[in-house]
Amino acid sequence: MTPAARCSAAIEILADIAGRRRPAADALKDWGLAHRFAGSGDRAAIASLVYDALRRRASAAWIMDDDSPRAVLIGSLRLQQGLAAPTIAGLFSGERFAPTPLTAAERERVEIGSLAEAPPAIAGDAPEWVLPSLQAALGEALLPELRALGRRAPLDIRINTLKRSRADALVPLGHLAAEPTPHAPHGLRIPIGADGRGPALHVEPEFLEGWYEIQDEGSQIASLLAGARPGETVVDLCAGGGGKTLALAAEMGNRGRLVATDGDPRRLAPIHERLRRAGAEAEVRTPRTGRARADVLDDLDGTVDRVVVDAPCTGTGTWRRNPDAKWRLRPGSLATRLTEQAAVLDRAGRLVRPGGRITYITCSILPEENDGAIADLLARSGGAFAVVPARSVAETCLPSVVGSVRLTEHGLQMSPALTGTDGFYVATLVRS
């Protein structure tokens, strides 16, 4: 497919996403199934165009004075890829499979459209209703942070120290041109191309042999801040596919007791193969569904040294990777997540022994889900828990990150603008 034909396809997919209010991944998959002539390179390039347009949906519509899928794509080519009007006009030529030519009005908007007078929600490409919360959390850093969340995310891997050290892995992985991550001691950052694509890491021999996992540096840092030690009993309460479980197993050196579970048994499906490949040892407890559902952790109540709560959240810190999610986010979704967060924190509180710790993690930058959730637990617990100062936790677990994170009332916040990571929040509580 020509670059112009890819633009036509991207417009078609953006129209499907807008018309049916569906996730971008689903729309892209359906388009690929209906257009099997498109090769993997074409599909990847089209996906990059779609995701870039979604990242800049509000600002692209502003400079084009039009929020149609075609206008949003044109605006994103200008804002996200920095293409000049003649280059965009060359893609929109009206020739075979190309979009129809730019109108005089479209060309003028491409040339003179500006964000100089745009309000923060437009300039930062964020839903209007989250701005008050983000303003309270970020202050003067609001717009730089939102703009950073609109850029493409890097591609990071975590070296599995159960099999290799980062130093030992660098030479065999030299063909990936990887560089050490700025903060995480076991991380490597893989260059991505101009189209946002990286290498197919999941088919590399080293991946199949368990040398590494694909994991954002922020998630790696959050796992390290849990402070898991060999010989402890640790529960990963919201384990999902197992990314943090694997990191915890490596930090514990497979010594101790590591238990992984999740409220949704379907999310646990990939964890077994990932544990096998990594050579990591963890006890996976899958809850039953239906009326016979029972608590699979009740035998551990009051005995656990550390509980890691990678809580369900709105995912506002991952907008770089999931730009369509921010446009589907609604206030009701936040309310649901707050209820779920309270439930998992209360369950963690029953698991942890006196003197034991809870590490609460979200991939959110909304204060309601972060400091707010911790404050609510403190109020509910009647003095049963106390916050461990985040600076102290970081200085103990990962001193190099202290100067790069935003310290909040109860925890610490990572973000694309500060740490170059997704927007992870981490707080630590100790049971009295």
**363 in active site:** yes
Contacts of 126 (CB under 8 A, 6+ apart): 58, 120, 134, 146, 149, 319, 326
Q: How does pLDDT run across 308-327, given as a tens digit for each residue?
A: 999 999 999 999 999 999 99
Residue 374: is its pLDDT beyond 70? yes
Residue 142: is its pLDDT beyond 70? yes
Domains of the chain and any CATH numbers: 3-114 (no CATH), 155-214 (3.30.70.1170), 225-431 (3.40.50.150)
Q: How does pLDDT run across 384-399, given as a tens digit for each residue?
A: 999 999 999 999 999 9
- Residue 207: name the closest of 244, 175, 253 by CA: 175
- 238, 313, 363, 397: the catalytic one is 363
pLDDT of residue 291: 60
Residue 290: is its pLDDT beyond 70? no
Q: What is the DSSP string of 318-379?
A: GTTT-HHHHHH--HHHHHHHHHHHHHHHHHHHHHEEEEEEEEEEES---GGGTHHHHHHHHH
Residue 292: is its pLDDT beyond 60? no
Strands 411-413, 406-407: pairing kind = antiparallel
User: Which of 23-27, 82-86, 113-117, 197-201 is the least confident region?
Assistant: 197-201
Residue 178: is its pLDDT beyond 70? yes
Tell me the pLDDT band of 40, cut-offs 50, 70 and 90: confident
Q: What is the DSSP string of 15-84?
A: HHHHHHT--HHHHHHHHHHH-TTS-HHHHHHHHHHHHHHHHTHHHHHHHHT--SHHHHHHHHHHHTS---
| Rounded Cα gap, residues 425 and 407, in angstroms | 10
Phi, psi angles (nearest 5°) of residue 305: -75, -45
| Displacement of CA 309 from its chain's centroid (Å) | 16
pLDDT of residue 196: 74
Contacts of 42 (CB under 8 A, 6+ apart): 1, 6, 9
Overall pTM > 0.85: yes
Tell me the pLDDT band of 294, cut-offs 50, 70 and 90: confident
Any binding-site annotation on 65?
Answer: no
pLDDT of residue 194: 75
Residue 222: is its pLDDT beyond 60? yes
- Torsion 185-370-253-191 (CA) sign: negative
Any binding-site annotation on 305?
Answer: no
For residues 172-189, give the mean pLDDT: 95
- Residue 318: name the closest of 55, 81, 128 by CA: 55
